[in-house]
Amino acid sequence: MISKKMNPLVQNNSVIRVMFEEGKRLAAIYGAENVYDFSLGNPNVPAPQEVEDSILETLKEEDSTFIHGYMSNSGYEDVRETIAQDLNRRFGTKFGQGNILMTVGAASGLNIILKTILDLEDEVMTFAPYFVEYGNYVRNYDGRLVVVSPNTVDFQPNLEEFAEKITARTKAVIINTPNNPTGVIYSDETLTRLADILRVKSAEFGTEIVLISDEPYRELAYDGAVVPYVTKYYANTVVCYSYSKSLSLPGERIGYLVIPDELTDSKEVFTAATIANRVIGCVNAPSLIQRVIKRCIEKGAAVNLSAYDKNRNLLYNSLKEFGFECIKPEGAFYLFVKAPIADDKAFCAQAQKHNLLLVPGSSFACPGYVRIAYCVSYEQIERSLPAFEAVAKEYGL
Ligand code: PLP
């Protein structure tokens, strides 16, 4: 019954999701407090109070047929205008509502833009380690994901290999900063060089290459780190944003695409993307939460970053003390740790014996590493430290 295209997806069902289920199974046996599930990027910090307030206010103050009704497939105009003005204020951009398309989270934003621009066997490039769903999203539209190998020195993208791998079939490049799984923020220098390469290569091949900036972690940057705004570096940029992490709303499925005027055929792309949103079956982003986002922006709502920062410091300092190697994440809520053996899956299996659930780096096309999602309670991290220390000792660290 299942299609040939769907079958491999069923066979390779997401390791992270499987791990999440395993966590629940172990919790039932050992008790939730004795299982240290670091597998899923599900925010543990509650949504800011403004979210609840805005939901209640919206329900009280706005007309029911309006807030629950159909709207333009690109979303409510006033919500899009509020987002555009907020971006302009923060990043000195010049967006208007005509540049903002409301989406069902980053996942649908990526699907919409890929559906909009990809032809059969077009190539989409990305940099390892990368969010594993990219391959699935690209295949949804019969494109081919081309992966640039990781630069494990500082996890900035490997731009030499990138330049070599661009071909006449390259239609898009997906970047993700702050990065899942490394927590690295792409520097001004990186983005400048990346944009230069794209301009040179698209001129060489006479093609248009779209830079897709997948940035659900934009707001999660520590120690005042600046996350450069990518549209400033390269005209053919589409930004894919989500409130899943920045307001702890992953289940609400809300985000947006920015399609700037500077993008080639911007207006046509916006229209096509709006239609793509409809025909992939999303139709429009959820209406109530769109209204809530507008109010949250007006109130300056932000997630409690200090909770993640505290987790980051405790976990990073402790793991370093136990002898693990990793770079200190500047953003997002992941630590990407070098496994003490080459086989990251074997290392994860060993860690699991201590009820530590970690995700192998090979799930992000970066074997030899593991991802630890620290969007968990501080107490869970504290309780897990003896297990990490025991694993370190087993490997002679
Ligand atoms: N992109 C990256 C890099 C992610 O880590 C995630 C979710 O974890 C997504 C996209 C999907 O986010 P959303 O919940 O907004 O669909």
Q: What is the pTM of this model?
A: 0.97
The dihedrals phi and psi of 130, each to the nearest 5 degrees, come to: -135, 160
**pLDDT given for residue 25 in this prediction:** 87
Q: Nearest C-alpha to atom 8 of ligand 1 is from which residue?
A: 41
**pLDDT given for residue 16 in this prediction:** 66
**pLDDT given for residue 372 in this prediction:** 98
Is the CB of 99 within 6 Å of ligand 1?
Answer: no
**pLDDT given for residue 22 in this prediction:** 82
Q: How far is the CA of 128 from the centre of ligand 1 (A)?
A: 16
Site to substitute for ligand 1 among 112, 214, 218, most atoms within 8 A of C-beta: 214
How far, in Å, CA of 162 to CA of 158, rounded?
6
Is the CB of 244 within 6 Å of ligand 1?
Answer: yes
The answer to whether 298 touches 82, Cβ cutoff 8 Å, is: yes
Is the CB of 360 within 6 Å of ligand 1?
Answer: no
Is the CB of 107 within 6 Å of ligand 1?
Answer: yes
Q: How far is the CA of 233 from the centre of ligand 1 (A)?
A: 23
Q: What angle do CA 192, 361, 223 make, to 5 degrees?
A: 50
How far, in Å, CA of 103 to CA of 362, rounded?
29
Q: What residues contact residue 245 under an 8 Å CB cut-off, 6+ apart?
A: 41, 43, 216, 217, 219, 220, 303, 332, 333
Low-confidence ranges of the chain (pLDDT < 50): none
- Report the DSSP pairing between strands 334-338 and 369-373: antiparallel
How is residue 245 annotated by DSSP?
Answer: T
The dihedrals phi and psi of 119, each to the nearest 5 degrees, come to: -105, 165
The rounded Cα 203 to chain-centroid distance in angstroms is 30
**pLDDT given for residue 14 in this prediction:** 65
Whether this model's ipTM surpasses 0.95 comes out as yes
Bridge-partner residues for 256, per DSSP? 102, 241
Q: How far is the CA of 217 from the centre of ligand 1 (A)?
A: 9
The answer to whether 193 touches 219, Cβ cutoff 8 Å, is: no
**pLDDT given for residue 290 in this prediction:** 98
How far, in Å, CA of 352 to CA of 375, rounded?
19
Distances (CA, A) of 269 to 2, 14, 199, 239, 265: 33, 31, 20, 13, 6
Q: How far is the CA of 96 from the centre of ligand 1 (A)?
A: 25
How far, in Å, CA of 55 to CA of 219, rounded?
22
Domains of the chain (ranges plus CATH)? 7-47+303-394 (3.90.1150.10), 49-299 (3.40.640.10)
Q: How many residues belong to the chain?
A: 397
Is the CB of 41 within 6 Å of ligand 1?
Answer: yes
Contacts 24+ apart (CB under 8 A), 338-343: 338/152, 338/368, 338/369, 339/368, 339/369, 339/370, 340/392, 340/395, 340/396, 340/397, 341/395, 342/367, 342/368, 343/367
Q: How far is the CA of 395 from the centre of ligand 1 (A)?
A: 33
The 10 Å Cβ neighbour count of residue 191 is 23
Q: How far is the CA of 347 from the centre of ligand 1 (A)?
A: 26
